[in-house]
Amino acid sequence: MQIVAGVHQIKLPFPQDIPGHTNVYVVEGSKGNILIDSGWDSSEVLWAFREGLKEDFLKFQDINWIVITHIHADHYGLASKLKELCQAEVVMHRIEAGLITSRYRDFDGLLGELREELSSHGVPQDELTELNEASLWINQFVSPDLPDIMLDDGDIISNGSFEFDVIRTPGHSPGHICLYEARKRWLFCGDHVLFETTPHVGFHPQSGDNPLQDYINSLEMLDRYKSNFIFPGHGPVFNSLKLRAGEIIQHHEQRKRAIMEILNDGLKSAYQVATEIPWKAETGGTAFGDLSPWDRRLAILETIAHLKLLASEGKVGKIDQNGISLYLSKA
Ligand SMILES: [Zn+2]
Ligand SMILES: [Zn+2]
């Protein structure tokens, strides 16, 4: 569907009946067309992409560059196959490219580090393997090839008709980029800002030390890029970046306050804190124990990210006891 002149949006399904879509965008230009993001690597997604192109009278060969906002499976999984079919070049930030091999190819080391992290944050031994391996199913939906072109902060991508500033927005992923077209005031923002849900920001072996601080800095920094249309990786296109960014920052402030309260009655591990937070508030709230193993892991990693931010702000302290990190309120 052409949503504004020169920009086509194609919605690609999630695999295994998981609800949700990835929005990918084709931006037409006099010197070639840019595809922003791919989708999961599955035959259904490839078919949906073909149908979406056809609906807008485009062909695979019309795509010249595939720019990936970040390497999560729902944005990058299909990039290699599309590269072959379109005879296009895959483009992404250098930092993101540097994570591909350890995440999707030789992932034993990363799995070991994550297991260590989950264990040291209090995940009980009988849940450890289930949570540690909760994301392995994703690998079948990713073809983990390295990009043809690596981007650096401040690069510019032009297709003859539109010119995009490459803005690195670490937080959701360390090498996540947004693309900004200054004349049109368009912002293609991947998973950095979503209208209906709060993007996941978790602490893990590839996230950097304080991903939530990085994320909030990235959100605040975007304020200087005045935008009339924000094209996200999921959910509706919207036009109020400042408002939405404010709501997301507010959400994290509330979560931090809730964690401070949870820490008021004793020293707790991140796992213990996570079990006391009501999750999925947008859909009425779900107790930690009722979440899937995958969601429980995300919940723990998000909790650690909040605790790391609170620690950097001097509001909580951390001690190590028998190999487990325990947090206490300093308020
Ligand atoms: Zn993502
Ligand atoms: Zn996503």
The pLDDT tens digits for 64-114 are: 999 999 999 999 999 999 999 999 999 999 999 999 999 999 999 999 999
The predicted model gives 154-168 an average pLDDT of 98
- Read off the tokens for 149: 């072109």
> Is residue 151 pLDDT above 90, yes or no?
yes
**The pLDDT of residue 278:** 86
Range 156-164 average pLDDT: 98
The bound ligand whose nearest atom lies closest to the alpha carbon of 233 is: 2
pTM for the structure as a whole: 0.96
Question: How far, in Å, from the CA of 11 to the mean position of ligand 2?
Answer: 12
In this structure, which residues have their CB less than 5 angstroms from ion ligand 1? 72, 191
**Res 283: pLDDT:** 77
Nearest bound ligand to CA 96? 1
CA of 314 to the centre of ligand 2 (A): 32
- Closest ligand to C-alpha of residue 14 is 2
Query: Residue 163 — φ and ψ, nearest 5°?
Result: -125, 125
Q: How many angstroms separate the alpha carbon of residue 172 from the centre of ligand 2? A: 9
Degrees (nearest 5) of the Cα angle 296, 301, 304? 125
Taking the alpha carbons at both ends of the chain, their separation in whole angstroms is 52
Distance 40 CA to ligand 2 centre (A): 10
- In tens, the pLDDT along 204-244 reads 999 999 999 999 999 999 999 999 999 999 999 999 999 99
Residue 285 confidence (pLDDT): 84
For 302-325, how does the pLDDT look when each residue is reduced to its tens digit (9 = 90+)?
999 999 999 999 999 999 999 999
Residue 252 Cα, ligand 1 centroid: separation in angstroms?
18
Average pLDDT in the chain: 96
Using the structure block, give the residue that is written with the tokens 């072959």.
Answer: 84
Cα(182) to centroid(ligand 2), Å: 24
CA of 36 to the centre of ligand 1 (A): 14
Predicted confidence band of residue 327 (pLDDT cuts 50, 70, 90): very high
Q: CA of 291: how far to CAs of 70, 107, 116, 274, in Å?
A: 26, 25, 22, 11
pLDDT tens digits, 242-296: 999 999 999 999 999 999 999 999 999 999 999 999 898 777 888 999 999 999 9
The rounded Å distance from CA 261 to ligand 2 centre is: 31
Using pLDDT thresholds of 50, 70 and 90, give the confidence band for residue 17. confident
For residue range 107-149, list pLDDT tens digits in order: 999 999 999 999 999 999 999 999 999 999 999 999 999 999 9
Which of 296, 234, 231 is closest to 11 using CA atoms?
Answer: 234
Q: Tell me, in angstroms, the distance from the centre of ligand 2 to residue 63's CA.
A: 21
What is the 310 CA–ligand 1 centroid distance (Å)?
A: 24
Tell me the CA–centroid distance for residue 194 and ligand 2, in Å. Answer: 9
**How many angstroms does the Cα of residue 330 sit away from the middle of ligand 1?**
33
Task: Say how many Å lie between the CA of residue 72 and the centre of ligand 1.
Answer: 5
User: According to the model, what pLDDT value does residue 248 have?
Assistant: 97
Two tokens at 104?
């999707």
State the pLDDT at residue 281: 76
Strand, coil or helix: what is 77?
Answer: coil
Which ligand places an atom closest to the C-alpha of 172?
A: 1
Sign of CA dihedral 87, 93, 94, 96: negative
pLDDT-based confidence at residue 172 (cuts at 50, 70, 90): very high
